[in-house]
Amino acid sequence: MKYTNIDFNNKAILITGGAGFIGSNLAFYFQENYPSSNVIVVDCFRSDKTLGNGNLRSFGHYKNLLGFTGTVISGDLNDKTILKKLEHDFNFDFIFHEAAISDTTATEQDLMIQTNVNAYEDLLKIAINHNANMIYASSAATYGDAPSPQTVGRENPGNVYGFSKLMMDNISRKYIQSGVDISIVGLRYFNVYGPREFYKNKTASTVVQFGHQILLGKTPRLFEGSDQILRDFIYIDDVIQANIKACDPKASGVYNVGTGKARSFQDIADILQRELGTDLGTDYIPNPFVGQYQFHTEANIDDTIEYLDYKPAVEMEEGIKNYIPEIIRLYKSEVSSK
């Protein structure tokens, strides 16, 4: 589906983090809808490097790009030589910046700020030099424990990841206010789920994790009171819609990308079992994070609707139903075979 009247054919499009979840979906969106577009993916592909919490430093995976016919560059945006290559070897029309240290449990504050904040400003300067519109991934983590509905301007980040994304937004506002000729749009993603997230491992959504538990014959394990633990879950197609509509040259600003509806973890488990034809019930375990756990998120998307013409189109029931074939495929190829 084409979400805009902009013709991306014959445009040079950079996608950072393009082997990750959202980046790879963007890459295929352009390939499928604008076959003459020139899509360049840069990603710090996964290696054995880990963070202090034991999680992988990069979730970029080549399997997310199987079938992609554009240009692929392996590189870390903290590396100045990669930045110089991007600046001097290409002339971008649009930059979609999805690359980040995205693990909310990471404690390496120095790496988080260097990667998410400093490298972003370096890339933003390239966008300005190329006269390329910048669309970048911010995050609902900027809100921390702020009350629902979460609204731009009412942030309270509870970890260094959320802080780093808020600093990105502050940098963007500074450049917007300076009167730069490009548009700069920050998109605060809420709980995104859908195809190509599997290689995020433990940080992938509960949708795919519960789906594989159920296919293994295991009863989904939820915290006690999960019917009252609500999140704004958004299917990947609506995230792509927001990114494409953010290319409007008049769209500069920071916007929430969610559905505007809060749904429960219990809903996810119940819908999955219905779609997979199982009746395993639910195991409830004590919630060890009471007092430091966010029990409700719901994006205020009024500005996103008004200024980006964004219309969330996929209800959770439809999103999970659409996702089921991919969950089953991954189960057969990546889970049951291990």
Positions marked catalytic: 161, 200
The β-bridge relationship of strands 133-139 and 94-97 is parallel
Tell me the sheet residues that pair with 233: 191
Name which of 88, 73, 75, 58 is nearest 27 in CA terms.
73
Q: For residue 242, what are its two tokens?
A: 């927001």
Q: For residue 199, what are its two tokens?
A: 């290689």
Angle at 111 between CA 164 and CA 114, to 5 degrees: 60
Give me the count of residues in the chain: 338
CA distance 154 to 185: 18
Specify the DSSP class assigned to residue 150: B
Cis peptide leading into residue 288 (ω within 30°): no
Hey, what long-range contacts does 149-156 have (CB within 8 A, 24 or more apart)? 149/260, 149/298, 149/299, 149/300, 150/256, 150/297, 150/298, 150/299, 150/300, 151/256, 151/300, 152/188, 152/254, 152/255, 152/256, 152/300, 152/303
Measured CA to CA in angstroms, residue 123 lies from 97, 118, 127, 160, 255 at distances of: 8, 9, 6, 21, 20
